[in-house]
Chains A and B, each alone.
Chain A
Amino acid sequence: MDTAEIAVVVGAALLIGFILWFFFGAQGARRSDSADPSPPATKERRSI
């Protein structure tokens, strides 16, 4: 491995760590936007 390769591998590892922290860390609890954050559907009934 030459210096550039070591730099890239270390950089990639740090970047992956950053990505995971950014999206899944304590502050990033939102994660990525899912399709729709509405609450799960429940079977609603109304007497007639």
Chain B
Amino acid sequence: MNDRVESQRAGESGSAATAEAPALDRAELPLLRMHCAACAGRIEKALTQTPGVQEANVNFATARASVRFDRSLTNPRSLREAVQEAGYDALLPEAKTPGASASPSDLSEAEDTAREAEYAAQRRRFLIAAALTLPVAVLAMGAHVIPALSPLLDFPARPWIELALTTPVLFWAGREFFLGAWSAAKRRAADMNTLVSLGTLSAYVYSVVVTIAPGLVATAVPDAGPHGHAAAAAPGVYFEVAAIIVTLILLGRLLEARARAKTSGAIRALIGLQPKTARIERDGVERDLPVEEVIVGDVVRVRPGEKVPVDGEVIDGSSSVDESVLTGEPLPVQKAAGDIVIGATMNGSGALRVRATRVGRDTALQQIVRLVQEAQGSKAPLQRLADVISGYFVPIVLCIAVATFAVWFVLAPVDERLTMALLTFVSVLIIACPCALGLATPTAIMVGTGRGAQSGILIKGGEALEKAHRLTTVVLDKTGTITQGKPTATDVLPEGMEADELLRLAASAERGSEHPIGAAIVRSAESKGLLLSEPQNFLNRSGRGLEATVEGRRVMIGNAGLMREQDLHPDEEAAGRLAAEGKTPVFVAVDGRLAGIVAVSDPLKETSQAAIERLHGLGLKVVMLTGDNRRTADAIGRQVGIDQVLAEVLPEGKSEQIAKLQANGEVVAMVGDGINDAPALAQADVGIAMGSGTDVAMEAADITLVRGDLNGVAASIGLSRATVRNIQQNLFFAFVYNVVGIPLAAGVLYPATGWLLSPVIASAAMALSSVSVLTNALRLRGFKVERS
């Protein structure tokens, strides 16, 4: 997929750039100190503006930047500096041996270490902040909670002690808020750091002024008169507000960091599947090499109980291989010479010799990891709405906060107006953090796609998820989807020649064909020990049959229509009988004369019927699409409970049929094997490819089922629905939280109930909102992928 993007970009820039294209490098930089989705945008801007950077993508979900840059103009170190200037940090890919490129596992280990260190530092900052805040809270609020403590806590030095304790909380533990806000302000932008900084700073500056120069505040409160002398004592200072807000938000971020680590657990688990070494035979000597050094063509020995290190073809030995890690298929699969094995799957009790066919970034596991990472960083259309809103959100909240201050200053009793205006101002700023809004979609997509990947369901991204949840119709390709895709010739009805001769001629002609029916005829002939000839002058009559010369005889194989075109009169009654049994009859003509019928039957997959029932259970209409004749198709359709059968559809007509369904207002998913169904997969709203996990077809589809089991279709649609529901819940929660929270914080209930939201409660609610959105998203980890 990356290759496609790269080639597209290269094409776009080709005309504008000089003829000599710069040598571009790609760097993957794990990012540190990213807290909100807004950080991703800011880092991306900083990287894109770095000279020499052609493209930078920051994935919030995986906290990684993927940068393409011109090595002659910049280097990863400069990229890191750009990230640092934006107020964040990045890890550099460092190889263990100089000159070599760092392996993904090196970087992954370094990333884990750095993230653990980051988490530890975050926790230390929180603990110190909490230790300093606790006495401030006791000093400031103890007397309110236990009035008896009042004489003990009310002493002239109290504001000074609170000042001393709060200052490090705000400017040491909470420095990231101020640095973040400043960095945003320099770009004429605002985010949650802006809100937290302004809120806490307002409370702090006001309290400092009251502590150091109470006279200044007294002049603003003309009627404070007799109480003015006491301003330095009890009511005036709000250090505890600033300290508690910072501490609670740090706590929220700490919990958020823990929850986010869990959301990326699925991808981490996938990466962790990769074995580190492989036992290679080179020059007649066996040796263990790091898996990165295995090259295509190497012969790898896989001993019993070991993981298969790379993708390859078995050349010797036999064993059962547990592929469940990639396909979700619980039963081990028997492998022998000629079979394909996938890297990271677990060998059973036999030994295998495997020729490596795909290594490094090309292995199925790495493709899946990349696909899932990209999906996790992708955006759902719903998120765009949230982005637009949050783009306007922070500045508008600032305006609301200022207006709230002014309104309270005018409406509140004169001796309370400054404090009430200040407290409501701070509460509005603090409660309106858009963090939950930013987390709502990406976290659900991360957990949902991660959960899918664990079960062999690879979902391409947010858009695929959203479309999958609106589906009304599922179109299934028959061959290889509903049926096993390995048909065999069950009936041979010759006319004027021996049955074996008919089968032999037909099979010889079909040797040039890649059609499953042709393969079935060839397989059956070979299993009977018939000697096949090489076909000549092979002519494919797409969707209807083929012609070829076998041993000097012209053999034509195809449906009744093809025969009629040649003025032949096929025995359609016999064919009809076979078709009614769910078999596919093909007519064979030799030298312009009908020579008989060969019927091919493709056994149903065991899971098909139950899977189709499950799709019905989801309220979906199930349509079968096939090139088979109507009677065969109807017979199969009846056996598995299909609602509508579209038969005799030529390969190029499949996408047209999908378009017709769409024109009738259906939202259509097309399920196919991804090879000859590509146009239909593309036409459908959601293309679902059923592959083996080694197939590049997964790049063409929106959803890929690694395991070729129709149950995965219902499971993937179910998972999509659950994920989109989760996103909706998160967005609803985040919006409602702000819609309700801001007026409450602004004090709309005060005139009626006398109730005012304390800034301390506002900060707790804010921290809670992000954590609850994450907790909700994490519920998706428990989604049950039902198999038969």
Contact = CB atoms under 8 A, between A and B. Distances in A.
A40 B379 CA distance: 8
B41 A33 contact: yes
Interface in B367-402: 378-379, 381, 383-384, 386-388, 390-395, 398-399, 402
Given A19-B399, A23-B188, A35 B60 contact: yes
B719 to A, nearest CB: 19
A15 B37 contact: no
Nearest to B185: A22
B42 A31 contact: no
B700 A46 contact: yes
A41 B462 contact: yes
A47 B188 contact: no
B40 interface: yes
Interface string B754-779: 00000000000000000000000000
Contact of A33 (B189, B378, B384, B414): B189
Nearest to B683: A45
B674 interface: yes
Contacts of B188: 22-23, 27-28, 30
Interface stretch (B310-318, B403-411, B485-493, B561-569): B403-411
A35 B387 CA distance: 6
A47 to B, nearest CB: 6
Interface string A19-42: 110111001101111111110110
Nearest to A10: B406
Contacts of A1: 410
Given A41-B378, A48-B696, A9 B220 contact: no
B55 to A, nearest CB: 11
Identify whether the interface residues of B are mostly helix, strand, loop, or mixed.
Answer: helix
B682 interface: yes
A25 B434 CA distance: 22
A36 B402 contact: no
A34 B389 CA distance: 8
Contacts of A38: 44, 57, 379
Contacts of B438: 35
A36 B188 CA distance: 16
Contacts of B650: none
25 contacts: A2-B222, A2-B414, A5-B410, A8-B421, A9-B409, A12-B403, A16-B399, A20-B395, A24-B395, A32-B190, A33-B187, A33-B190, A33-B391, A35-B60, A35-B437, A36-B40, A36-B41, A36-B58, A36-B387, A37-B41, A40-B379, A41-B461, A43-B463, A44-B4, A47-B678
Contacts of A47: 678, 682, 700
B40 A35 contact: yes
Contacts of A31: 189, 391-392, 395
B191 A32 contact: yes
B203 to A, nearest CB: 17
A28 B398 CA distance: 15
B675 interface: yes
Interface string B447-478: 00000000000000111000000000000000
A41 B463 contact: yes
A23 B399 CA distance: 11
Given A19-B399, A23-B188, A31-B392, A8 B405 contact: yes
Contacts of B4: 44, 46
A42 B437 CA distance: 23
Given A1-B410, A8-B409, A46-B699, A30 B57 contact: no
Interface in B418-453: 421, 437-438, 442
Nearest to B461: A41
A43 to B, nearest CB: 7
B184 interface: yes
Nearest to B42: A33
Contacts of B616: none
A21 to B, nearest CB: 10
B532 interface: no
Interface string B39-75: 0111011000000000001101000000000000000
B317 to A, nearest CB: 32
Contacts of A16: 399, 402-403
Contacts of B405: 8, 12
Nearest to A23: B395
A38 B384 CA distance: 10
B124 to A, nearest CB: 28
Contacts of A48: 674-675, 678, 696-697, 699-700
Given A28-B188, A34-B38, A46-B4, A20 B399 contact: yes
B391 A32 contact: yes
B395 A35 contact: no
A7 to B, nearest CB: 9
Select the residue from A15, A36, A45 with max chain B CB neighbours within 10 A.
A36
B41 A12 contact: no
Contact of B379 (A9, A32, A36, A44): A36
Contact of B395 (A5, A19, A44): A19
Nearest to B223: A2
Contacts of A13: 406
Contacts of A11: 406
